[in-house]
């Protein structure tokens, strides 16, 4: 009986230490459980393997993770390392872990032909910009229904507003254009999408979601 009482008292005295150790371990795990672990989890659940390169996705996810101004759990990635003849525009729902859109997107006329290899933050350069963007409001302009972007990467894309870099639809961002010319049509620096999808995509990502352009 004395032995049982002793073990019970020992367990009570040891409990705070065990709880404290558990909390410390949990805190350590949480500290290490940053965007890298989360990115791998999303990549797997959204079934992105073979669809988008993991390193490119991880870069985009890190950009999303660091953007405190974001208002939507959406991440759009533009992979300019791919030629324009390939679908390189991705919209990923990070709340449901689903790939919502995967389509074509143009690059700037002075960024290259089939492949974009020159990028700029300069007004009137007619080149695409890289880095992290935050979507804003929509409007109707010379390119129809369009989405304003704010460039968040200092010195790389923070002139997006001054350059009128927006998401819009274009009749040259189509498979039929590729079949006729061997490459996708080019913009003046804007990420132009197929017209049949542009409005739907713009309405999905507008109002504070993150776009990350990679090359």
Q: Is 8 a member of any domain?
A: no
Q: Is 199 a member of any domain?
A: yes
Inform me whether the pLDDT recorded for 5 exceeds 60: no
If phi > 0 it is left, if psi is from -120 to 50 it is alpha, else beta; for residue 201 that is alpha
Q: What is the pLDDT of residue 36?
A: 85
Check: CB of residue 60 under 8 Å from CB of residue 77. Answer: yes
- Write out pLDDT tens, residues 112-165: 999 999 999 999 999 999 999 999 999 999 999 999 999 999 999 999 999 999
Inform me whether the pLDDT recorded for 30 exceeds 50: no
Inform me whether the pLDDT recorded for 19 exceeds 60: no
Q: Is 133 a member of any domain?
A: yes
CATH code of the domain containing 122:
2.40.440.10
Domain count, the chain: 1
Residue of 12 and 37 predicted with greater confidence: 37
Residue of 34 and 151 predicted with greater confidence: 151
- What does the DSSP assignment read for 131-199? EEEEEEEEEEETTEEEEEEEE-STTTTTTTTTTT-EEEEETTSSHHHHHHHSS---BSSS-EEEHHHHH
Q: Is 20 a member of any domain?
A: no
Q: What is the average per-residue pLDDT within 60-65?
A: 96
Check: CB of residue 188 under 8 Å from CB of residue 109. Answer: yes
Q: What is the pLDDT of residue 17?
A: 40
- Going by pLDDT thresholds of 50, 70 and 90, the confidence category of residue 35 is confident
Q: Is 25 a member of any domain?
A: no
Query: Residue 130 is part of which domain span?
Result: 50-214
- Write out pLDDT tens, residues 160-211: 999 999 999 999 999 999 999 999 999 999 999 999 999 999 999 999 999 9
Q: Is 31 a member of any domain?
A: no
Residue of 36 and 13 predicted with greater confidence: 36
Q: Is 126 a member of any domain?
A: yes
% of the chain surpassing 70 pLDDT: 84
Helix (H, G, I), strand (E, B) or coil at 52: coil
Q: What is the average per-residue pLDDT within 74-80?
A: 98
This prediction has a pTM of 0.84
Q: Is 29 a member of any domain?
A: no
Inform me whether the pLDDT recorded for 86 exceeds 70: yes
């Amino acid at each position: 009986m004395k032995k049982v009482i002793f073990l019970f008292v020992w367990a009570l005295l040891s409990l705070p230490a065990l709880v404290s150790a558990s909390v410390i371990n949990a805190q350590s795990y949480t500290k290490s459980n940053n965007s890298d672990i989360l990115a791998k989890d999303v990549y797997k659940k959204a079934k992105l393997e073979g669809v988008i390169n993991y390193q490119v996705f991880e870069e985009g996810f890190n950009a999303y993770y660091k953007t405190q101004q974001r208002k939507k759990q959406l991440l759009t990635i533009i992979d300019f390392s791919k030629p324009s003849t390939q679908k390189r525009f991705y919209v990923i729902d990070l709340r449901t872990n689903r790939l919502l859109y995967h389509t074509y997107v143009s690059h700037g006329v002075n960024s290259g032909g089939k492949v974009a290899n020159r990028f700029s933050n300069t007004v009137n350069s007619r080149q695409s910009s890289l880095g992290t963007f935050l979507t804003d409001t929509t409007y109707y302009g010379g390119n129809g229904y369009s989405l304003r972007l704010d460039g968040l990467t200092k010195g790389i894309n923070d002139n997006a507003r001054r350059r009128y870099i927006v998401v819009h639809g274009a009749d040259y961002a189509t498979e039929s254009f590729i079949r006729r010319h061997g490459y996708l049509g080019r913009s003046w620096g804007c990420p132009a999408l197929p017209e049949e999808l542009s409005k739907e995509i713009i309405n999905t990502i507008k109002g504070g979601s993150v776009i990350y352009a990679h090359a």
